Amino acid sequence: MTVMEHLQALAGGIGTTVTLTLAAFGVGAVAGFPLALARRSSQWWLRLPALAVIEVLRAIPPLVWLFIVFYVIGADFPLMTPFQAAVAGLGLIAAAYLAEIYRAGLDAVPDGQWEAASATGIGTLTTYRKVVLPQAALIVVPPAATYLIALLKDSAVASVVGTTDITFLAFQEARVTLEGFEVFVIAAALYLALSAPVALVARTADRLISRRLGL
């Protein structure tokens, strides 16, 4: 078997890996926001549960979460596909990590900005929309991009419950051709190639922020 033939066998999984990663990131990006706000709340009954949820989500391995979603929660949803289970499981973990990234972004907006907004009496919603979020959004990009790469790598665990991503197809190809060494090296190269553009975005955003802050 040539490298080209192996590559063709794995190529069918690229779409699944990318969709899975982006879908889980999307779930996390949306669910992480209220979690971050609750985590920063001055009310203990919002802050403490949010803290507990974030810590527990991050303290258990992704593969274990995936198993809990697929085998335990999935028992009540017999139509759930491995792909959906993976999106839900990885999305939950992504919510916790992105919540912490959002929180750091909100914390990075100087106190004076919050105080000025509150002094002008524009209300909480307008404060977030017009003052805080435009500043926090840019700060959040580099760590969020770094996390997206981590999530891309984590997405490989979805193959264990049968999602037909790059890793799953590599596993099959290695078993059929008995050329595991070449096959997994090619799979590794595919993951590196997928993460390269995201790394570029992170670096560019980092430079942009440094310039804006006059560093």
Partner 1 sequence: MSTWIELFPDLLPGLWVTIKLTLLALGLGLPCGVVLAGLSAAPSRWVRWPVIVVVEIGRGVPGLIVLYLVYRGLPQVDVVLSAFLSAGVGLAFSTAAYTAEIIRAGIAAVPVGHREAARALSLSPLQEFRLVVLPQALRTVIAPLVGFSIILYQGTSLAYAISVPELLSRAYNAASITFQFGAALTLAGAMYAVVSLTATALAGARSRERVL
Q: Choose which of 184, 201, 206, 209 interacts with partner 1 (CB under 8 A).
A: 184
> Is 195 among the residues that bind partner 1 (CB under 8 A)?
yes
Question: Out of 67, 133, 172, 209, which residue is the one contacting partner 1 (CB under 8 A)?
Answer: 67
Determine, following the binding rule CB under 8 A, whether residue 71 of this chain makes contact with partner 1: yes
Provide the minimum distance between the beta carbon of 122 and partner 1 in the complex, in angstroms, as a whole number.
Answer: 33
Among 18, 51, 138, 185, interactor with partner 1 by CB under 8 A = 185
97 in contact with partner 1 (CB under 8 A): yes
Name the minimum Å distance from CB 78 to partner 1: 14
Q: Does 19 bind partner 1 (CB under 8 A)?
A: no
Pick from 124, 148, 112: which is nearest to 22 by CA? 148
- Considering Cα of 193, then 195, then 199, then 201, what sign does the dihedral take? positive
Contact between residue 12 and residue 188 where contact means Cβ atoms under 8 Å apart: no
Site for partner 1 (CB under 8 A): which residue of 86, 87, 144, 170? Answer: 170
The smaller minimum CB distance to partner 1, of residues 5 and 115, is found at 5
Residue of 59, 136, 178 lying closest to 127 (CA atoms): 136
Q: Which residues contact 177 (CB under 8 A, 6 or more apart)?
A: 1, 6, 183
Candidates 80-88, 107-115, 124-132, 152-160 — which segment interacts with partner 1 by CB under 8 A? 152-160
DSSP 10-75: HHTTHHHHHHHHHHHHHHHHHHHHHHHHHHH-S-HHHHHHHHHHHHHHHHS-HHHHHHIIIIIGGG
